[in-house]
Homo-oligomer: A and B are copies of this chain.
C-alpha cells in the first residue's frame, strides 16, 4: 500500500465505522477498525505534546519522541501535520461537549442548573487546564491558517449549542425567554472561561472562584423580564 492510499483509507474508515460495528465483522472492516484505533492512539499521543507545548512549538519529532513512536509512523496514518492536528481538535470536541450534556438533562430547578453549570465549568478549568489552553490556541490559529478553519468552526458551534441548551433549560424553569442571541450568550460565557484560564496561568489563587461566581451571576442577566429603563 502506497502513501497515496493512506489518505483515502483514512477517509473510508471514517465513513464506514458505523457499518463495521453493525455488521458481522468482515476482514476489511476489522482491518479499518484497527486502523482507526491506531489513529486514535497516535492522536492521543500528539494531544499530550500539544497540551504541553502548544501549536507553535510542537513538532512531529517531538510528539514521536515523547510518545515512543517513530516519527515516520505519523505519516502513515495521517496525510500531514494538519490532518493530525485537525483530528486532535475533533477529539477535544467529543470530550468537552459530552462532559456538560448531562447537566441540562438532569436538572430539577433553575437554581440547580446555574449552580451545577458554574461548578462544572470551574471544575473543568481546574482539571483540564492544558486541554482548554490548547483549544484557544488552535481556535486562534484558525484565524491565520485556513486549514484549521472548518474543523475549528464546527467544534465552536457545538460548544455554542451546548451552552444555549443549558441556558434554555434555565430560562424554561423561570418560564421566560433568553434576551440575547445564541451566539452572544456563548461569547459571554466563553469570555469568562478564557479569562479564568489566563488567570490560572498568572498564578491567581481565586481564578476558579471568580469564574464560578461570574457564571452564576451571568445567568439571570441573560433573561428577559428584568426591566431596566434602557433595555431594548
Which A residues are within 8 Å of any B CB, using their own CB?
Answer: 53-57, 110-111, 114, 133, 136-137, 139-145, 149, 153, 156, 174, 179-181, 183-184, 186-192, 194-195, 197-199, 201-202, 210, 213-214, 216-218, 220-223, 226-232
Say whether A220 contacts B210, CB under 8 Å.
Answer: no
List chain B residues, Cβ under 8 A from A192: 184, 187-188, 191
**Counting chain B CB atoms within 10 Å of each CB, which of A186, A197, A217 scores highest?**
A217
User: Which among B55, B140, B186 is the interface contact of A136 at CB below 8 angstroms?
Assistant: B140
A142 to chain B, nearest CB (A): 7
Task: Contacts A153-B202, A191-B188, A192-B184 given; indicate if A197 touches B228 (C-beta within 8 A).
Answer: no
Say whether B53 contacts A201, CB under 8 Å.
Answer: no
CA distance A189 to B187 in the complex (A): 9
List chain B residues, Cβ under 8 A from A197: 143
Extra contacts, 4 of them, besides A111-B230, A184-B214 (Cβ < 8 A), are A133-B140, A143-B197, A188-B218, A190-B194
Say whether B56 contacts A144, CB under 8 Å.
Answer: yes
Say whether A144 contacts B54, CB under 8 Å.
Answer: yes
Say whether A201 contacts B142, CB under 8 Å.
Answer: yes
Task: Contacts A141-B56, A217-B184, A221-B221 given; indicate if A195 touches B190 (C-beta within 8 A).
Answer: yes
Task: Contacts A210-B181, A230-B220 given; indicate if A144 touches B140 (C-beta within 8 A).
Answer: no
Closest to A142 in B: B201
CA distance A159 to B224 in the complex (A): 30
